[in-house]
Amino acid sequence: MINSKASTFLAVIPVRAEASHRSEIISQVLFGEYLDVLDKNGEWIRIKTLYDDYEGWVDEKQIVYVGEEDLSIKLTNVFGQFVIKNQTDNKVFLPLGASLPINKQGQVQIAQHIYDITSENVRHVMKPDISTFKEHILDIAKQFLDVPYLWGGRTHFGIDCSGFSQIVYKVCGIKIKRDAWQQAEQGKLVDFLSQSQTGDLAFFDNEEGRITHVGIMINNNLIIHASGRVKIDLIDDQGIFSSDLKRYSHKLRIIKRYI
């Protein structure tokens, strides 16, 4: 099935660095996100996500192969607690940011898996409304407050810094890459912290100058980010002042704007 398309009918599945259950989880695929199948190694499939071109290995038992006709089905985004129900009335609880392929009958369909929508927290994928973007992105971001930090995570049960910014932006209708350094290469540069606006992304580097952290600006002196947990901290030209550590925890590098 190499060079074919796939998706997952599970709420969330791990993407691993190598073809092993013992390998590091580097990301996650959410329900309904489409994949390119690149390679196969036993029960493991090397994939590239169509959403952000991220590559890794997934368990073949956790995906389903789809045809080109499935890719033409209109996608919507989950933007709150969401439940769908399969044909045997079993409920599936979906994470914020999952993608829902909607067929002509108004049902969610991934290959042969068909579900009825039982919640109203769904929106069509579309370009963001600039007039409401700032309010919307803060509302979505704050839904993640106190979610624990998890390397490779993209859900309410655990999320990393760039997974947080990516999912919040996804729900707002803006596509950005998966890792912080990749996100830092996108968008328009904001010259000064004092010029930053709600929803801008601030990036932070380590001693070697490598981008290692990202957060979402609330205003030009507050930031929401995933560090230990998703939380709000003070930020200035030096960087993030951690409310937990009572010291600067991340050194500011650049600020980018995507809308």
Contact between 214 and 202 (Cβ < 8 Å): yes
Query: Residue 183 and residue 187: Cα distance in Å, rounded?
Result: 8
* CB-based burial, 175-187: b 16+ in 10 Å, e otherwise: ebbbbbebbbeeb
Neighbour tally for 54: CB within 10 Å: 20
pLDDT score of 69: 80
Contact between 34 and 101 (Cβ < 8 Å): no
pLDDT score of 130: 81
The sheet with strand 91-94 has its strands ordered as: 91-94, 82-86, 113-117, 108-110, 99-102, 74-78, 122-124
The secondary structure element, H or E, covering residue 30 is strand 25-30
Contact between 149 and 227 (Cβ < 8 Å): yes
Token pair in block for residue 182: 């990749």
pLDDT score of 91: 85
CATH 2.30.30.40, the chain: domain bounds: 1-125
Contact between 60 and 68 (Cβ < 8 Å): no
Per-residue pLDDT of the chain (259 residues; tens, 9 = 90+): 777 999 999 999 999 999 999 999 999 999 999 999 999 999 999 999 999 999 999 999 999 999 888 887 777 777 666 778 887 788 888 899 998 888 888 889 999 999 988 776 666 666 778 888 999 999 999 999 999 999 999 999 999 999 999 999 999 989 999 999 999 999 999 999 999 999 999 999 999 999 999 999 999 999 999 999 999 999 999 999 999 999 999 999 999 999 9
pLDDT score of 65: 96
C-alpha distance from residue 149 to each of 4, 31, 87, 191, 231 (Å): 33, 21, 35, 29, 10
Q: Write down the CATH number for the domain with range 130-257.
A: 3.90.1720.10
Query: Residue 90 and residue 20: Cα distance in Å, rounded?
Result: 30
CATH 3.90.1720.10, the chain: domain bounds: 130-257
> What is the model's pTM?
0.94
- Architecture per CATH, 1-125: Roll (2.30)
Contact between 162 and 154 (Cβ < 8 Å): no
